[in-house]
Every structure is written in C-alpha cells, then in structure tokens.
Amino acid sequence: MGTVVSFHVEPGECPAVDARVAVASACARLHELDDIFSTWKPGSPISRFRAGLLCLEDAPPEMSLVLELCEEARALSQGWFDPWAMPGGFDPTGLVKGWATEQAVAILRLPRVEAAIVNGGGDIAVLGLPRDAHAWRIGVRHPWRPEALACVLETDRAVATSGCYERGPHLINPRDGRMLFRTASATVLGSSLPLCDALATALVVAGDDGPEIARSLKGYEAYIIGVDGKEDATDGIVFATERAWTTGSRPGPVCDHWPGARSQAPVVSRPQ
Amino acid sequence: MRRAPAVVVASAAGLAGIVAMHAGSAPSVLGGAGPAAPASPSPTATNPPSTTGAATTAVGTSEQYGYGTLAVKVTVRGSRITDVSVARLQTAEQYSQSLAQQVIPLLRNEVLSAQSAHINGISGATYTSEAYAYSAQSALDLLGVK
Amino acid sequence: MASLTFDPTYTPHGATHGRQSVISRPGAVPRPVIAEVATILAGLGFGACIGLAVTAESWKQLEAPGGVAMFLGNLTGLAGTYLALIMVLLVSRVPVVERVLGQDKLLASHRRLAPWPISLIVAHALLLTFAYAEAARTGVWHQIGAFIRSYPDMLTATIALVVMVAIAVTSVYSIRRRLRRETWWAVHLFMYLALALAFAHEIALGPSFVGHPLTRFVWSVLWASTAGLVLVYRFGLPFFRTFRHRLEVVEVHPEGPGTVSVVCRGNHLDRLAVAGGQFLEWRFLTKGMWWQAHPFSLSARPRPPFLRITVKGIGDYSSAVARLRPGTRVAIEGPYGAFTTHARRHSKVALIAGGIGVTAIRSLLEDLPRNCDPVVILRASSTEELILGSEVAELVRHRKGRVHELVGSRSEVRIDRLSELVPDLRNRDVYVSGPEGFVDQIVATVLQLGVPKDSVHFEVYSL
C-alpha cells in the first residue's frame, strides 16, 4: 500500500529477542495484508474483487472482515464514509490501513511486551502506556506546515487522522460526487483504529457537518481543523500542555521496518 | 522610439530591484536545495542503545507523485530510524488549498516542532504512494542504513 | 446675422481689435520631463512585475507536474495585466502627459501596444488551465469547470477573459472595418468592465499577492489610482468643461468646396486654456450625431465668446456637420494635442499643410511669435481648395514670413521643391498637417533632408 509503518516497543519484562521476533512477524503479517489489499497490484484479491473477477466466497477471509467493518463504519458515520462511492469501485484502502496497523499491534501482545505503539502511515495503534507517563503523547500534523505540529494530544487509545492537504481533493463527497475543501484535517480517537480511520475520513468529507457528527459519536473523540484555521474538539480530547511534558529519555525502539511498495506505478483514480 | 532603450533599462532595474529585495528577505525560496548530505553517517552500531546516540538526518530525493513532488526526511540514531517525515512538498493542489487561507491562521500551541515536543508519535494524513517509499529509501541509502 | 469673422490680426495677449475685447487663455506649457519620468516609471513597473513572477517560484516547484506551465502562467498573467494597465493609462488623457505627447501619439501607442496584453492574458489562461490539469491529473475541460466552481472569483475572471477576447476580435482590422465605428467603440468600452471584473481573482489567487500584504496593497493602489485618473480625466473633466462652457452652434458658413466653418458660442471661454494647433473632440447633440465624437482642430484661437472649427465634408458625418442648425448644443472633450508652439526647439518654423490640414496651421500661427520667420507651404488640388488662405497670408505677413501655395496634382510636391522653397529647413521646426498619406510622405522627405526627429511635428487627419 506504499505506507511507512514504524514500531516503537517498550519490552518491559519481556526479553528483547522475543520482542524483536514479534515485530518481525508483525511486519510479515503487514506484507501479507498488503498483498491482499493493495489496489495498485492488479492481481491482488482486492483489485480483482473491484473488477468483478472475484466473489466474496473465494476471497481470503480478511476481505469479509474488512467489508463488515466498512459497513459498520458507513453506518456509524451516517453515510459520510462510503467506500462503495469511490470512483473506480469499492475502495476500502482508508480503513484497511488502520485495520492492518491494529493487526500488527495484536501480534505484539503475544510476547507480553509492556507497551508498544505502531504508526502505520499516520494511523496509530497503542498497547499499554509509556513508562513514566499516564498517556501517550501524539502530535497531530499541521495541515499546511509540513514540519510542524498543530497540537499534541494525550491518549491511551488509537488515533487516526485524515485530511485533504497532501493529496489534493481526493476526498469525494459521497452525496454529490464533488470534492471538498472545507475541512483541512480531522483526528479521531477511539478503541477501534479502523473505525477511527473511517470516521476521520468521514469528518473531513462532511465539512461543516463534521463537528456535529463528531459530537454524536459515542466512544469516539474528534479534533477538527478547518481550512480557515478554526479548530473544534469534542469534550474528551485532552491537549498536552507544555509544562506537563515528561523529561525521561525515550526508550530506543527495537526495530523499524516498513513494507516496500514494490508494485507498479500507482493508479491515481480521479473523478471524471 | 528613443524611449525604447529607456524602457528596457528601467525594466531591468525594476526586475533587479524586486529580486534583490526578495533575496534579502527569504533566501531559501529561490533555488531549492537538493537532498541534504548527512552530517556523519554512522552505520556501525547494532545494539539497541538505551541512551540516545548521535542522530543523523537525511532527506531523500524529491519524487514526483500524482499531485506534485515530495521528499522524505529520515532521522536515524545508529541504525535505528527514529523519525520519518515529509521534508518538502510541492503540489498545485496544496498551493490552491493554501489560497483559501489568505492569512495563514494560527493554531493553538502554534507551530510546535516535532523535535521539541517530546512526543511518542505523529498522527497525520500521509502519503500512500510509491514516491514516498522511494524517497524514504533514498534517504536511508544516503545514511548507509540497511 | 452678419458673418462672424475671426480677425487674423487679433493678437491673444492684450491689444483689442475690432469687436473682440476679451483675452483668450493660452494653453498650459507642457513639461517634457513628465513624459520621461512616466516612461521610466512604466519600465520600472514592468520589470518589477517580471521580478514578482520570478521570485514567486522555486526550482523544485518547476519540477512538479505542470510546474513550468504554472510559472509561465503566472508570469504571463502579471506581465499581461500590467501592460493592460499601461494601455488604460495611455488613453486616460491625463493633461500633464497628454500635453507633452499628444493625444494622437498616445492613441497610436495604445494601438501598437494592444496585441501584447491580450496575447499574454490569453496565454496566461491557457497555461494555468494546463498546469492545474497536469498537477491534478485531470482533463483540461474538467479543470476549467473546477476553476469556475471551486476557486474564488474565477467566474468573474472568466467572463472578463471572454469580454477581452471579444474586444480583441472586433479590433482585428478586417473585422473592424466591417463594423460601424459606433458599434466597435461601444464594444471597446467594455474593456473597463473586463479589467474591473478580473481584479478580484488577481488578488485572491496570484502567488505574489497571497500572503504578501504589501504587494497586494501596491497593486491595489496602482489600479485604484488608474481608475481614479480615468474617472477624472477621461470622463470627469470633459463633462465639467461641457457644462461649464455650454457651447452651441451659432453659425455655419462655407469656406470652400465641400468645406464649412462652424462657429460656436460658449460661456467663460476666456477660461478655456487652448494652444493654437490643438483640437477638441466634438459631439454635436442632435439627432444622428449625438453618439459620435469626432476630433476637429480649432481653426483659430478662441475669440471669447466664440470658437471656430473648419470641417471638410468627407463621409456622412462631416457632411452632416454642414447641415448643423444654429442652437445645436455641443459636448466637448479636450483640448488635446501637442501640435503647438510649445513643441518648438528653434525660433524659426516651417509649416506645411495639405488640404484641410491648414486649419491647425492657421490656429498655430496665431501663437507663434513675431520673430519666427514662418515659411508656410499650402498644398491643395485646386485653388478653391485653399481654404483660409487669406487669413494665413495675413498672419504670415504680420510675422514677416512667406507663403507658398502648391496647387495641382500630387507629383508637384517633391523632395527638391521642398529644399528649394525652404533651404534652411534644418534650422527650423517643421510642422506638417494634413491627410495621412500626405503627412507620411512629407515627414519622410523632411527627415531625409536632415531635419532632426525632435524638430518634426505632425498631425494626421484621419477620416
């Protein structure tokens, strides 16, 4: 899928070698999922499914899981997240990224590491809590200053962010098929990373309706940045303040790895 | 037509004036640099260090993707990658996006730098494209890692 | 009513002769340095626009898809719009500049410059459409739709472009001559609207303006000032003069075959500063003529409360002038023209008039001092066509000069005759006035005879 995934593991009492093995197998699992869900590989199951050459019964079981999640996400987002409304056919890529990252974290649970955080292209799945802190500190990328952060959030759950600032208006409003500009970035926190991912996408697409939808979601918090710089956050969002930063040294990551996108040139699907 | 030389000279003067004024205030815009060479690549350390070693950074080549070009910056401590971010981004769409904001708005905790914020990770909408991976790989090649 | 004569022995500064005892006001002295300064400023501005375009880009942006087209699109937009601004200023009739350069020269420059801004602006639209389409990997037509729908002020900018192209098309010679002059003129005036419509998108989208408040401010001031100048000098001042002087036709009398003099009466004509040789745009407010303004030189200095023009009947309009009824009101613009005594570099002059061109020469003579030793050459096809000949002779005699009447076919006026008639041509300021072909020929001859360009002044009578 062409995403960079990074791992940050605090082994705790778990032996370092076990942690490393777990990360390696998590990476392997990510490659497997990439083979299934990469829309840039014409022979992948998802590509064939989109082209109508593969039916659900013959597809790998992961596909059905993802499809169910997509339906759940669509309902939860009141239709604003709709992978069936994408030009070119059903495209669950937005949700798959978060789901795959969550799968990777699940693998890390096995050797009982104390804490881990996996960042799959901006989608963050967490395990446990960092040493010396009561929450993970996650920076949200600034929509129009590439090197800066918009804010720092404190959370113990998954974080996903979506925005239209780097790929142009690739977000299509499913209601009228047009492209939107009104929301620059939306960040969603919750227990299920794929749903956070889908909701974040939905909130960006929903534009002015975003804050209202965010407030109606139970169990999810959202932070939205408009193109004019207006920020909106639900009540459950906790912003980190300068003075509360911990000064302990960051534990070194065990290893970093990402799946290379050794596929053909990306097919940029655009509306007509 | 003897006015023509005067006009040409005046035009040249106007052009020179603007360029000089611009160069004085924002030296980095005209003529962007290519990939920065790493300060001191150290590919030797293999054990995961518990204390931070010397961090080196490299910026990969600018790769074209659907909407423009981007370059990925990779920060490495020893052979561990500690940060990956987009260093440079040029898109027509982003440009047009920024047009909607005539004055760049200020956000809360304006312009935090990822370096100084002591964070565990950055969440942001990112690039799912080959260009991103290629640029990141080239940055790593520069650093001599893997 | 007895025919009003414009006594040639009347001198503008002082002595009263005959019935007229009110002094008329001389034209203001032009300051050539203003034109020099204006030219330099125009050049500086143009260079600055190029500079703005160049400094708005970085090398990396050029490498992006559509990057080069985007840069060129911005460059052509800035340059083309700036030149459009110059175009407006050229015809804004600001007195300090007009006095030096002359309305006819300004119009000629305006016409010569015209292809550039329109081509650059069309190129700007095409290049940017292509550039954005490339960057977004979308089709050109879709991009045009996206521009109009999603970008601020692009709808008005597109309308402005369409209007500009329409104006350009109607100005193409082969099309223009098929149109009635009034139709062409009415279409042309829409250029003001087009420029006003386009302004918003420049400020909202131009990379040199977004996020650069100083540049935005300067650009806005530039356009606001230009609009102000146009309102004041192109529209305001003519309105003011028309209502102040309230000219009306009092007499129309023949001067020669197909030629009439029209005498108008007005208020406060002693306050109208006119130099001999200048012209005004005349709009006779009567049926069939009120929508057209035509330039006619005064054929004598004002004799407050009277003004005179002398018009040759070629074409419908000029023939209609002969039928003007006394009491017809007149709206005026001007006076304009640099064909005056102030343009002189020498004390001695040579005045060469062809046909109706004698009118400007006749009024110019009144302004020339007694020591100018005028040599006047009047050219006509027949003696009857030598209008105002007696007046010219009287004025020249008063200044101890000579008049040569060259009557006959075109071949009579040749290079050797000119140097015969005026051996010291090189030491004189040469004023040439008449139909276009005549003026071109004489000016070329005079230049060939070694008269420096700065000493040659001409006024062309086009139909």
Cross-chain Cβ contact C137/A181 below 8 Å: no
Q: Is residue A152 part of a domain?
A: yes
* Chain B positions in Cβ-Cβ contact with residue C41 (cut-off 8 Å): 10
Q: How many domains does chain C have?
A: 3
pLDDT digits (tens, 9 = 90+) for A99-132: 999 998 888 887 777 888 888 878 899 988 887 7
Q: Is residue C17 part of a domain?
A: no
Q: What is the C-alpha separation between C439 and C435, in angstroms, rounded?
A: 6
Are residue C122 and residue C42 in the same domain, yes or no?
Answer: yes
Q: What is the C-alpha separation between C161 and C165, in angstroms, rounded?
A: 6
Q: How many domains does chain B have?
A: 2
Residue B146: pLDDT band with limits 50, 70, 90: very low
Quick check: helix, strand or coil at residue A248?
coil
Do C407 and C393 form a contact (C-beta atoms < 8 A)? no
Q: What's the one-letter identity of residue C183?
A: T
Cross-chain Cβ contact A168/C138 below 8 Å: no
The answer to whether B23 contacts chain A (CB < 8 Å) is no
- Tokens describing residue A92: 């669950």
Are residue B70 and residue B133 in the same domain, yes or no?
Answer: yes
The answer to whether B115 contacts chain A (CB < 8 Å) is no
Restricting to C residues 189-208, those with a Cβ less than 8 Å away from any Cβ of B are: 204-205, 207
Quick check: helix, strand or coil at residue C244?
helix
Quick check: helix, strand or coil at residue C348?
coil
On whether ipTM exceeds 0.90, the answer is no
Cross-chain Cβ contact C150/A168 below 8 Å: no
Do B142 and B38 form a contact (C-beta atoms < 8 A)? yes
Residue B25: pLDDT band with limits 50, 70, 90: low
pLDDT of residue B10: 92
- Chain A: give the shortest CA distance to residue B120, in Å: 5
**DSSP secondary-structure letter at A255?**
-
Host domain of residue B16: 1-31
- Chain B: give the shortest CA distance to residue C135, in Å: 5
Q: Is residue C20 part of a domain?
A: no
Task: Report the candidate in B102, B71, B76 with the shortest Cα–Cα distance to residue B88.
Answer: B71
Burial C405-434 (b: 16+ CB within 10 A, else e): ebeeeeeebeeeebbebbeebeebbbbbbb
Are residue C122 and residue C200 in the same domain, yes or no?
Answer: yes
Block residue for tokens 């494209």 = B129
- Biggest distance spanned by C-alpha atoms of chain B: 78
First to last CA, chain A: 24
* Chain B positions in Cβ-Cβ contact with residue C60 (cut-off 8 Å): 32, 62, 69, 88, 90
Task: Report the candidate in C16, C15, C75, C395 with the shortest Cα–Cα distance to residue C207.
Answer: C75
Do A3 and B136 form a contact (C-beta atoms < 8 A)? no
Q: Look at residue B145 and tell me whether its pLDDT is greater than 80.
A: no
Q: Is residue C198 part of a domain?
A: yes
Q: Look at residue A169 and tell me whether its pLDDT is greater than 90.
A: no
Cross-chain Cβ contact C47/B14 below 8 Å: yes
Q: Is residue A49 part of a domain?
A: yes
pLDDT of residue A256: 23
Are residue C219 and residue C129 in the same domain, yes or no?
Answer: yes
Cross-chain Cβ contact B125/A165 below 8 Å: yes
Of C135, C136, C150, the CB nearest to A181: C150
Task: Report the candidate in A96, A16, A114, A105 with the shortest Cα–Cα distance to residue A60.
Answer: A96
Are residue B41 and residue B104 in the same domain, yes or no?
Answer: yes
Cross-chain Cβ contact C137/A270 below 8 Å: yes
pLDDT digits (tens, 9 = 90+) for A126-148: 988 887 788 888 888 877 665 56
The answer to whether C41 contacts chain B (CB < 8 Å) is yes
Of B10, B15, B92, the CB nearest to C70: B92
* Chain B positions in Cβ-Cβ contact with residue A12 (cut-off 8 Å): none
Do C362 and C351 form a contact (C-beta atoms < 8 A)? no
The helix (run of H) or strand (run of E) holding residue C374 is none
pLDDT of residue C463: 47
The helix (run of H) or strand (run of E) holding residue A94 is helix A93-109
- Tokens describing residue A254: 């065990």
Q: What is the C-alpha separation between A107 and A120, in angstroms, rounded?
A: 15
Are residue B17 and residue B44 in the same domain, yes or no?
Answer: no
Do A90 and B95 form a contact (C-beta atoms < 8 A)? no
Q: What is the C-alpha separation between A33 and C16, in angstroms, rounded?
A: 108
Do B129 and C241 form a contact (C-beta atoms < 8 A)? no
- Tokens describing residue C161: 């472009």
Task: Report the candidate in A177, A187, A182, A74 with the shortest Cα–Cα distance to residue A124.
Answer: A187
Of B62, B64, B98, the CB nearest to C65: B64
Are residue B23 and residue B42 in the same domain, yes or no?
Answer: no
Residue A4: pLDDT band with limits 50, 70, 90: low
- Tokens describing residue C66: 């559509």
Are residue B41 and residue B76 in the same domain, yes or no?
Answer: yes
Q: What is the C-alpha separation between C460 and C259, in angstroms, rounded?
A: 18
Q: Is residue A232 part of a domain?
A: yes
- Chain A: give the shortest CA distance to residue C103, in Å: 50
* Chain B positions in Cβ-Cβ contact with residue C55 (cut-off 8 Å): 18-19, 22-23, 29-30
pLDDT of residue B85: 63
Are residue B62 and residue B92 in the same domain, yes or no?
Answer: yes
Do C52 and B16 form a contact (C-beta atoms < 8 A)? no
Pairing of the two strands B55-59 and B68-77: antiparallel
Q: What is the C-alpha separation between C309 and C264, in angstroms, rounded?
A: 8
State the chains in contact with C (3 or more Cβ–Cβ pairs under 8 Å): A, B
* Chain B positions in Cβ-Cβ contact with residue A247 (cut-off 8 Å): 118
Are residue B22 and residue B48 in the same domain, yes or no?
Answer: no
Are residue C97 and residue C185 in the same domain, yes or no?
Answer: yes
For C357, residues 6+ apart whose C-beta sits below 8 A from its C-beta are C432, C433, C434, C435, C438, C439, C459, C461
Q: Is residue C2 part of a domain?
A: no
The residue ranges of chain C whose pLDDT is under 50 are 1-3, 11-21, 463
pLDDT of residue C166: 94
Are residue C38 and residue C122 in the same domain, yes or no?
Answer: yes
Restricting to B residues 34-93, those with a Cβ less than 8 Å away from any Cβ of A are: 48-52, 65-67, 70, 77, 80-82, 84-89, 91-93
Do C333 and C91 form a contact (C-beta atoms < 8 A)? no
Q: Is residue A259 part of a domain?
A: no
Q: Mapped to the 3 state alphabet, what secondary structure does chain B carry?
A: CCHHHHHHHHHHHHHHHHHHHHHHHCCCCCCCCCCCCCCCCCCCCCCCCCCCCCEEEEECCCEEECCEEEEEEEEEECCEEEEEEEEEEEEHHHHHHHHCCCCCCCCCCCCEECCCCCCCEEECCCCCCHHHHHHHHHHHHHHCCC
The answer to whether C448 contacts chain B (CB < 8 Å) is no
Burial B117-143 (b: 16+ CB within 10 A, else e): bbbbbbbbbbbbbbbbbbbbbbbbebb
Residue B46: pLDDT band with limits 50, 70, 90: very low
- Chain A: give the shortest CA distance to residue B145, in Å: 11
Quick check: helix, strand or coil at residue C232?
helix
Are residue C36 and residue C175 in the same domain, yes or no?
Answer: yes
Are residue B98 and residue B138 in the same domain, yes or no?
Answer: yes
Q: Look at residue A264 and tell me whether its pLDDT is greater than 60.
A: no
Are residue C101 and residue C137 in the same domain, yes or no?
Answer: yes
**Domain termination residue (choose one: C204, C235, C266):** C235
pLDDT digits (tens, 9 = 90+) for C70-103: 889 999 999 999 999 999 999 999 999 999 998 9
Q: Is residue A266 part of a domain?
A: no
State the chains in contact with B (3 or more Cβ–Cβ pairs under 8 Å): A, C
Q: What is the C-alpha separation between C316 and C314, in angstroms, rounded?
A: 7
The domain spanning residue A149 has which CATH number? Answer: 3.10.520.10
Angle at C435 between CA C430 and CA C441, to 5 degrees: 55
- Chain B: give the shortest CA distance to residue A185, in Å: 8
Of A168, A178, A181, the CB nearest to C136: A168
Q: What is the C-alpha separation between A254 and B49, in angstroms, rounded?
A: 9
Of B32, B66, B102, the CB nearest to C60: B32
Are residue C134 and residue C265 in the same domain, yes or no?
Answer: no
pLDDT of residue B81: 59
| Chain A contacts to C (CB-CB under 8 A) | 168, 178-179, 181, 268, 270, 272
Are residue B82 and residue B18 in the same domain, yes or no?
Answer: no
- Chain B: give the shortest CA distance to residue C62, in Å: 9
Q: From A201, which residue of chain B is nearest by alpha-carbon distance? A: B125
Residue B78: pLDDT band with limits 50, 70, 90: low
Quick check: helix, strand or coil at residue C262?
strand
Q: What is the C-alpha separation between B100 and B89, in angstroms, rounded?
A: 18
Restricting to C residues 132-171, those with a Cβ less than 8 Å away from any Cβ of B are: 132, 134-137, 151-152
Cross-chain Cβ contact B87/A261 below 8 Å: no
Q: Is residue C373 part of a domain?
A: yes
Host domain of residue A231: 5-244
Are residue C328 and residue C223 in the same domain, yes or no?
Answer: no
Q: Is residue A251 part of a domain?
A: no
Q: Is residue A260 part of a domain?
A: no
Angle at B98 between CA B93 and CA B103, to 5 degrees: 170
Cross-chain Cβ contact B18/C48 below 8 Å: yes
Least confident of A153-157, A184-188, A204-208, C234-238: A204-208
Host domain of residue C252: 241-336
Cross-chain Cβ contact B109/A229 below 8 Å: no
pLDDT of residue C197: 94
| Chain B contacts to C (CB-CB under 8 A) | 3, 6-19, 22-23, 29-32, 62, 64, 66-69, 88, 90-93, 95-96, 98-100, 102-104
Of A168, A181, A272, the CB nearest to C142: A272
Q: Is residue C42 part of a domain?
A: yes
Are residue C358 and residue C317 in the same domain, yes or no?
Answer: no
Are residue B69 and residue B80 in the same domain, yes or no?
Answer: yes
Are residue C231 and residue C96 in the same domain, yes or no?
Answer: yes
pLDDT of residue C227: 96
Mean pLDDT of B58-84: 64
Q: How many domains does chain A have?
A: 1
Are residue C199 and residue C262 in the same domain, yes or no?
Answer: no
Residue B37: pLDDT band with limits 50, 70, 90: very low
pLDDT of residue B133: 58
Task: Report the candidate in A62, A6, A72, A59 with the shortest Cα–Cα distance to residue A34.
Answer: A62
Of B121, B125, B133, the CB nearest to A124: B121
- Biggest distance spanned by C-alpha atoms of chain A: 57
Mutate to test the interface with A, among C132, C134, C137 (most CBs of A within 10 A): C137
